[in-house]
A and B are shown apart, each in its own frame.
Chain A
Amino acid sequence: MDEFLPVRGVRYVRARALDWVAEVGRVALLLRDMTRFFIAGMRSFGRVVQQMGAIGVGSLWLVIVVSLFTGAVAAVQAAYQFTSVVPMRYLGSVVLRSVIIELGPVLTGLVLSGRVGSSIAAEIGTMKVTEQIDALRAMAIHPVRYLVVPRVVASVVMLPVMTIFSDAIAIFGGWVVATTSIGMSSHTYTQSLKDFFLIKDFMSGLIKAFFFGGIIGTMGCYYGFATEGGAEGVGIATTRAVVASCVLVLISDYVLANVLFRFIFAK
């Protein structure tokens, strides 16, 4: 006899909730191991630099394209909303602040969640299903020290670096639109940037990027290690890493915005 539908529903929700709690616990254990092996992992600084290159150089063109058009769209939309309400000379300031506080770090975080998070999860996942992780452990090389620490550190360092690139390119995109299709002078746009630039806005974006880097690196590694089965398992792990990274980037963006602008940079 079929089980009463609400009972099945409650049972399903309870099972999913337990899975979620278990997953949080496993991520916490990974973070604990990362802390334990941080210094040992950093001794192989060459591997960290190699990962920084893979993350930074490998993602640069994507970040350039996304940022250029983000800045351009920000300028077009700000100009549209300013019409008859706000003097156009403030256009640069709106592009600047929206980019350095929010669009730069968040879009870089989302782009690198896809590009870097998936790559880390796929690489470690493939290593897991082809016994390479076991081979590391059999050689007395802890996988967290050898694989996780360099990747997470590289993500944490490179996200702010990529965000600085993204900010600069997006502001340039806004300048292109402002000077070519809105009819603003280059001087007015840049003066607006100078007048409204606040170091705390810039720092808030970098702090966000720092946390996003940690999230992307950790989720990529976590789902890579959680891979089960063969090629299908690697695909599932990769998708999960990207989804989890994107969701956590957006949630942490909200949390960080509250902490930064209501407490740390409130004055």
Chain B
Amino acid sequence: MIRIRGLRKRLGVKQVLDGVDLDIGTGETVVVMGRSGTGKSVLLRHIIGLMTPDEGSIEVEDQEITDMPERELDAVRQRFGMLFQSAALFDSLTVGENVALGLREHLRLDDVEVRRRVAERLEWVGLEGGEAMKPASLSGGMRKRVGLARALAMDPQYILYDEPTTGLDPIMADAIDQLIRSLQRRLGVTSIVVTHDMTSAYKVADRMAMLHEGRVVFTGTPGEARTTTNAVVRQFVEGSSTGPIPPL
């Protein structure tokens, strides 16, 4: 369970988060949607401790993490996996080394076990046998899948997805969505997906939250999002340029 209360963050002159309240239940997939620049990625970075809020709290399994020392925070981070928007693969390492990095750094596993786990994670994401490839030779979709395999390597309880389908063609985007769903079913992990891609959001979400002007203005199921009377949410899910959200 992740509980976020009154989260505020100012970056320069912009109040990016202005009192975010959100609960993410164990085992559910919550999609955080909103326009570009509304602070969705900033919210994810706070959840994994890459940013510190100006105010507010984030509790992971009843542990307050916002003022946690780095060493304790690292122990919490090991329960998370994160897929970055750009996949953030380490260019100097092969695909296999990318996936194995967390295992080698944190677990005392022998080489055979590390290789077995790496092969298994790559198989999960449909890249079996791709250990020796270099990130530079991968397509955008393959990079995301390797990033996902790396996020899964440590058997995380929570997976954070930052724009998992951005920049992908519709077929690859659907493949990533299916992968997110199947991993959630297979592993029962708690997932937070940040996206502005509504097609993807409907496919993967158990629950949706809309971030607007630094606050969560809606939470509900995909069905509730489709039928809501909230004008902001309606405009966003319908992709309309007319409504309370100005297009520019």
Binding stretch for chain A, among B79-87, B200-208, B231-239 = B79-87
Q: Which 7 A-B pairs have the closest CB atoms?
A: A140-B74, A135-B88, A131-B88, A140-B77, A138-B82, A131-B84, A139-B102
Q: Mark A119-131, 1 if CB is under 8 A from B, else 0.
A: 0000100110011
B-contacting residues, A118-163, CB 8 Å:
123, 126-127, 130-132, 134-135, 137-142, 146
**Chain A nearest Cβ from B118, distance in angstroms:** 14
Contacts A140-B77, A141-B101; A134 near B45 (Cβ below 8 A): yes
A-contacting residues, B81-103, CB 8 Å:
82, 84-86, 88-92, 101-102
**Chain B nearest Cβ from A57, distance in angstroms:** 16
- Is B106 part of the binding interface, using a Cβ–Cβ cutoff of 8 Å? yes
- Is B75 part of the binding interface, using a Cβ–Cβ cutoff of 8 Å? yes
CB-based contact B102/A130 at 8 Å: no
Dominant SS among interface residues on chain A: helix
CB-based contact B84/A135 at 8 Å: yes
CB-based contact B50/A137 at 8 Å: yes
Total residues of chain A contacting the partner, CB 8 A: 15
Q: Mark B150-161, 1 if CB is under 8 A from A, else 0.
A: 100010000000
CB-based contact A141/B105 at 8 Å: yes
| Closest residue of B by beta carbon distance from A123 | B92
Contacts A140-B74, A140-B77; A134 near B88 (Cβ below 8 A): yes
Q: Across the interface, which residues of B come within 8 angstroms of A131, CB to CB?
A: 84-86, 88
Cβ-defined partner of B90 (8 Å) among A132, A140, A142: A132
Cβ-defined partner of A138 (8 Å) among B50, B89, B90, B92: B50
21 A/B residue pairs, CB under 8 Å, sorted by A: A130-B86, A131-B84, A131-B85, A131-B86, A131-B88, A132-B91, A134-B50, A135-B82, A135-B84, A135-B90, A137-B49, A138-B48, A138-B77, A138-B80, A139-B77, A140-B74, A140-B77, A140-B102, A141-B101, A141-B105, A142-B74
CB-based contact B78/A140 at 8 Å: yes
**Chain B nearest Cβ from A97, distance in angstroms:** 41
- Is B113 part of the binding interface, using a Cβ–Cβ cutoff of 8 Å? no
Q: Across the interface, which residues of B come within 8 angstroms of A132, CB to CB?
A: 88-91
Q: Give the docked Cα–Cα distance between A123 and B48 (Å).
A: 25
- Is B70 part of the binding interface, using a Cβ–Cβ cutoff of 8 Å? yes
Cβ-defined partner of A139 (8 Å) among B70, B75, B86, B101: B101
| Closest residue of A by beta carbon distance from B70 | A142
Q: Across the interface, which residues of B come within 8 angstroms of A130, CB to CB?
A: 86, 88, 91
Interface residues of B (CB under 8 A from A): 45, 48-50, 70, 74-75, 77-78, 80, 82, 84-86, 88-92, 101-102, 105-106, 150, 154
Interface residues of A (CB under 8 A from B): 123, 126-127, 130-132, 134-135, 137-142, 146
Cβ-defined partner of B84 (8 Å) among A134, A142, A146: A134
Q: Across the interface, which residues of B come within 8 angstroms of A142, CB to CB?
A: 70, 74
Q: Give the docked Cα–Cα distance between A137 and B92 (Å).
A: 17
| Closest residue of B by beta carbon distance from A43 | B105
For B74, B80, B88, the residue with the greatest tally of chain A CB atoms inside 10 Å of its CB is B88
| Closest residue of A by beta carbon distance from B104 | A44
Contacts A134-B45, A134-B50; A141 near B88 (Cβ below 8 A): no
Q: Give the docked Cα–Cα distance between A214 and B70 (Å).
A: 26
Q: Can you name 10 extra interface pairs (CB under 8 A) apart from A138-B77, A140-B78, A142-B70?
A: A132-B90, A132-B91, A134-B88, A137-B77, A139-B102, A139-B150, A139-B154, A140-B105, A142-B74, A146-B105
Q: Give the docked Cα–Cα distance between A131 and B150 (Å).
A: 14
| Closest residue of B by beta carbon distance from A135 | B88
Contacts A132-B90, A132-B91; A140 near B106 (Cβ below 8 A): yes
**Chain A nearest Cβ from B50, distance in angstroms:** 5
Q: Give the docked Cα–Cα distance between A9 and B205 (Å).
A: 58
Q: Give the docked Cα–Cα distance between A195 and B102 (Å).
A: 57
CB-based contact B91/A140 at 8 Å: no
Q: Give the docked Cα–Cα distance between A130 and B49 (Å).
A: 18
Q: Across the interface, which residues of A come within 8 angstroms of B74, CB to CB?
A: 140, 142
Q: Across the interface, which residues of B come within 8 angstroms of A127, CB to CB?
A: 90-91
Q: Across the interface, which residues of A come within 8 angstroms of B50, CB to CB?
A: 134, 137-138
Q: Across the interface, which residues of B come within 8 angstroms of A139, CB to CB?
A: 77, 101-102, 105, 150, 154
For A126, A137, A140, the residue with the greatest tally of chain B CB atoms inside 10 Å of its CB is A140
